[in-house]
Every structure is written in C-alpha cells, then in structure tokens.
Amino acid sequence: MSRPLAPPFAGSGEDRPLLQLDGPAIVFGGPYGNLEATRALLEEAERLGVPGERMVCTGDVVAYGADPAATVELVRRSGARVVLGNCEESLAARSGDCGCGFAPGSACDKLAAAWFAHADRTLDADARAWMASLPRRIDLAVDGRRLAVVHGGVTLINRFLFASTAPLIKAAELARSGVDGIIGGHCGLPFTQIIRGKLWHNAGAIGMPANDGTRRVWFSLLIPQASGLRIEHRALAYDHAAAARKMRAAGLPEEYALALGTGLWPSCDVLPYREIRERGVPLQEGRALWRVPAEPTQPSRRARAIMVEQAWPDPARDNVAPLRPPKFKDPLRTAGGEPRASVALKRLETLWFNTGTLCNIACRNCYIESSPRNDRLVYLSRSEVSDYLDEIERGRWGTEEIGFTGGEPFLNPDFLAMIEDCAVRGFRVLVLTNAMRPMQRRKAELLALGASCGARLQFRVSLDHFTQARHEDERGPGSFRPTLEGLQWLARNGFNVTVAGRTMWGEDADAEREGFAQLFAGHGIKLDARNPGDLLLFPEMDSHADAPEISAADWELLGATPGRPMCTSSRMVIKRKGSAHPAVVACTLLPYDPQFELGRTLREAAREVPLNHPHCAQFCVFGGGSCSAQ
C-alpha cells in the first residue's frame, strides 16, 4: 500500500525543522524530474534500511527530466524531507523562469526555458502548494552539533558553491548559518570539505550525472559515529536510457537527454575553472569522516589563511594530460633529438619592467605567483629603471615602448615617477594593472600625470571575465567591483585604456566578446569588445600540462613565423630578492626560470632564446594569444 501524501514535517510550523540524526540517513540532491533515477534511489534506500523520514533532499525535485509531476508525487510519498530549491520556488510562484542563476543568454539559460515550460505545464495546483510549503532550511542534529541543509547558499537560494569556491566565501556562509556545518545542493557536483573544523558537504544530484563522463548519479549515506559523522559518497546506476527516451518524446532539449548517456553536461557555463578541468574524469566512490570538535572554535582576527581539507573527491583529478618528463630538458634539442627552435632579437621594440611581485590580491592561477606575500622579485627603484633608459639611448636601440607589469605596479612607491621619466623621454608607456585600491589611492597624482603626458600613457586593466562569478573565481571574492570602478574612472577621465580578459573557461570567443560588450555598454565604458585592440583575450598557461616542443624544422610545417614570439621584439628587467642588481630576462612569462635570464645589460640580453618551455608552445606558438601582446 502506498504511503499517503503528507505536508512537510506534518505541519510543524517551524521555520527551521529539526531532524535528529540517530541512525544512518540519506542525503540526495536534484531529482530533476528524472523518475527512473528517483525510483532507483528509493529502492536503494530500502535495501540499505533507511526509512523515508531519514532521507533529506536538497531541493530541485523538478528540472530537466520528463516526469516532473510523477517525480514530485514519488518524493512526497517517500516521506523524505525536502528543502525548497529555486525550481520549487519559481514553480510555486509561477515565475517566468527557473531562477537557477544562469547568466542571461548563456547555453544553460537558453536550454532552461524549454524544460521549465514543460514543468510549468505539467504540475497541478496541489504540487505547487506543496512546493510553496517547503522550508528553506532543515537542521540536522548530530552528537550535540547542528548541520544546516540548504539548497544553494544560506541566504541566496540559487548561489553556486563548488568545491573550488573560495574558502573565504564558504567560511562566511558557515558563520552566517550559526551551525557546525552546511549540507548544500544546487551545483550538481558532490564533494566534502572540512573548513576550520566545520563541515561542508554536497551530495550531488540524482537527476543528472556529475559531469564525470559516466552515467552514474550520486547520493550520500550519513552514518553517525562516536564524536563524528561518516559520509559515504555513493554512485547509483539506473535506467538512464528509458529516462532519455522519455525526454526526447516530451520534446525536451536533446542536449540534456544526451547527457544522461554520455555523463557530460552540455555546457560548463556555471562551472569554475577547477571544475572544468575535472570534466570527464570519473569519480570514484569514497568516504569522509567529520570529527565533531569538542568545542566550537572561533578563528582569531589575525588568522588570514582559512584551512580547508578536501576530504572527497581527490583534489588532483584533472582532464589535462600532464607534461611528459623528457620534454623541455635540453635547451638545444627536443626530447626527440631534433634541434630546438630558437628566436633572435630583431629589434627591442618594448622593454618591460617588473616593478615587483607583491600584489594586493592573490589570483588562483597567476603565472608569476604574485600575492601580498610573494616578494621573490623585489621593487625596482626609479634610478634602476633610469639606468636602462640611459642604455637604450646610448645604444640607440630604437625602443619605442616601455611596459610596466608586476605584481601590482602601483604598490611600488617609485612607480609614478618611473612613468613620468619614461614619458618625458618620449617613450610610450603601457601599464598593466588590476585598477583596484593601489591605483585608486593615486588618483590625484594620476590626473596630474595625465595632464602632462596622458597621450603617451595606456592602461591595460585585468578584467578576467564579464561576470563577477568568473572574474572572482580567478581573482578572489570582492575583486570584481573595484576593478570595474577603476576601469570606469580611467575611461571617464580620458586615459587610454584597454582590457585584458582570459579564455580559461573554454567559452566561445565570440560569445565572450559579446558578454564584455554588454558589460562595457552597461557601465559607459567606450571600448569595442569585438576589437582585439580594445579587448585582448589570453589563453590559460599551465606549465604542468603537456605541450608540444618546437623544433627548428617545425616553423614551416606549422605555418608559423619565428618573428612572432615576444622574445624577438622585447625583454624584461627584474630584480631578484637578495640580488645586488637587476637582470634582463627573455620573457615576461618566465621571470623565475634561470635559463631565460640573459644578463645584466641589454647588450648581454640580445642573444638568441631557445623555445625551451611549455609556455613557448602553449601561449606564443599555439595559444592564439601572441605574447607580443602581453
């Protein structure tokens, strides 16, 4: 006899229903209208001896699948506890879209319109009333501690929080929750982390594979233990072919029907860079143990680092092939024994100065490892820069442009004087900056400098993506708005500006440029995002990823030219920590590799440069982002 339909928590009226975890429990996310997967989960729960009252769903009972009404009824009859997901919230309110938080115009956003309309047509008033009654949060009691079960974030129902989401963001969510751990959903990918002793867990989704290239879906078994909680991440097989056939028969997007069989999502629009790098790498079942702290711990105000333990899955998962050991060892020959390609300095068009690696932020994938603590390259002084300008003039090098990079150049106390010295001597000056607080503190001085030599100045602002989420995925929480404000200020005050974005998320280049175009237009920034001169999009650099070596014979075969790489037309001056004097290196991308340090003077640094590093292939030859534009 089937279980009767029941309102959540039997009309308890609590805003935060409490479930005492006194035995094994199942947590699952996102049934997504996939009736076959939901039925398979309930059968597995019965096999494991877990009753419905010890099952908790993190929301989104309805989404991509063909059976929204039947899935809702099955979940209701199971007795499982359900928190409100954004899909339930939108369907209950008869909103115009799913409220998933997809970027407008993205592939996910466009596909969502079809499945949301299908669900909206299918659900009756009783199902919507049930959805409207769901709590936004359920608390689990474990050995005297509490865990909050939410859909996305504690206050934002559709917030995407992944394993790679900045620890600072998760720590803030935990603090806001007032409990000892969070069990979340929404992102669709399972993981368990321990953050300053507190638990962060996501069971994944049962309605769609975990983008790992397998057809399996995921749930979690929570087993209370003495002074802790054992969490088992479990995979579930089900009749995915039947679910896909029903989606096609219902006229739902083929992309999602196909995903049930391939195990790969049709789009990575919502994913951070780290999760994109894990796409197609099969997850392995595993377990994690969270030990309940004896006493709640409060971090000191001085504590800057937030300790995170990735308990599951393996954080080393990667879909990029690692660099093979024999490569890039011999500066003269490739691993195959062929003469290695090298390039000569044709003319020193641009001389770069690295003003120091200290930076006001620490990017996740900074090729130069700049941060508030990294001073491996110390500040250059005004006099040291002037010495090289003197050498240019004495040697009649014909240099037209001086570039400044870092770190963040505006942290160097001599920086504005360096700019002025270069401009007064007639050089064009290019400044790479994040346009955040270090630059904005110097606004008055910059305005004066702009009045005297602004025509010779250009600022290239690092704005990695047109969305806050992806920019901050790389540069950290709170970095997007200050950079955008700094860019607006420069443009509004008549400075020559360009923007440097990145293509690390694998988006279509035209779509990315269109996204930047909308951002610029919406903030009054008069740049043409479709013009590569206004918006430069740089590929990602990973020195650990496999890359082809370039032999001397490869130039003609590749249709490339030895005159393209940066080292044919520029050099960079650095000063290593502990060194008495600066040195000249071949490339802005390789300041630490000793083989690219060419000497103390420009004359010494004029020799040929072997292309003996993965960056040479990834960025300069194959990357589509000539490092001459760096």
pLDDT digits (tens, 9 = 90+) for 388-418: 999 999 999 999 999 999 999 999 999 999 9
For residue 304, name the pLDDT band (cuts at 50, 70, 90): low
Residue 418 is predicted with a pLDDT of: 98
Higher pLDDT among residues 284 and 108, named by residue: 284
**431-442: burial string, b at 16+ Cβ within 10 Å, e else:** bbbbbbebbeee
- Paired strand residues for 82: 57
User: Domains of the chain: which residue ranges?
Assistant: 17-296+304-312, 345-536+565-607
* Both tokens assigned to 513: 């440029």
For residue 296, name the pLDDT band (cuts at 50, 70, 90): low
Average pLDDT over residues 270-275: 95
Percent of the chain at pLDDT > 90 equals 78
**CATH H-level, domain 17-296+304-312: superfamily:** Metallo-dependent phosphatases (3.60.21.10)
Average pLDDT across the chain, whole number? 91
Instruction: For strands 191-195 and 198-202, give the pairing.
Output: antiparallel
Give the whole-angstrom CA distance, residue 210 versus residue 32: 13
Residue 257 is predicted with a pLDDT of: 97
Determine whether 478 is exposed, middle or buried from the number of CB atoms within 10 Å of its CB (0-12, 13-18, 19+): middle
Q: What interhelical angle do 35-48 and 68-78 show, nearest 10?
A: 20
Contact 430, 418 (CB under 8 A): no
- Whether 324 has a pLDDT exceeding 70, the answer reads yes
Q: Which of 340, 345, 333 is nearest to 599 (CA)?
A: 345
Average pLDDT over residues 112-116: 91
Phi, psi of 560, rounded to the nearest 5 degrees: -100, 170
Higher pLDDT among residues 106 and 57, named by residue: 57
- Residue whose entry in the numeric block shows the structure tokens 């420009």: 602
453-487 confidence digits (pLDDT tens): 989 999 999 999 999 999 999 999 999 999 999 99
- Whether 9 has a pLDDT exceeding 60, the answer reads no
Q: What is the DSSP letter of 527?
A: -
- SS3 call for 566: helix
Q: What is the DSSP letter of 411?
A: G
- Whether 380 has a pLDDT exceeding 80, the answer reads yes
For residue 3, name the pLDDT band (cuts at 50, 70, 90): very low
CA distances from 493 to 265, 449, 451 (A): 44, 12, 10
Contacts of 485 (CB under 8 A, 6+ apart): 435, 440
Residue 566 is predicted with a pLDDT of: 82
Q: Which stretch of 110-114, 297-301, 349-353, 553-557 has the lowest confidence by average pLDDT?
A: 297-301
Residue 109 is predicted with a pLDDT of: 84
Q: Which residue type is seen at 30?
A: G
CA distances from 27 to 139, 206, 216, 370 (A): 13, 10, 16, 40
Residue 14 is predicted with a pLDDT of: 45
CATH of 345-536+565-607, picked from 3.50.50.60, 3.40.50.1980, 3.30.420.40, 3.20.20.70, is 3.20.20.70
Percent of the chain at pLDDT > 70 equals 93
* Both tokens assigned to 512: 């990315």
For residue 305, name the pLDDT band (cuts at 50, 70, 90): low
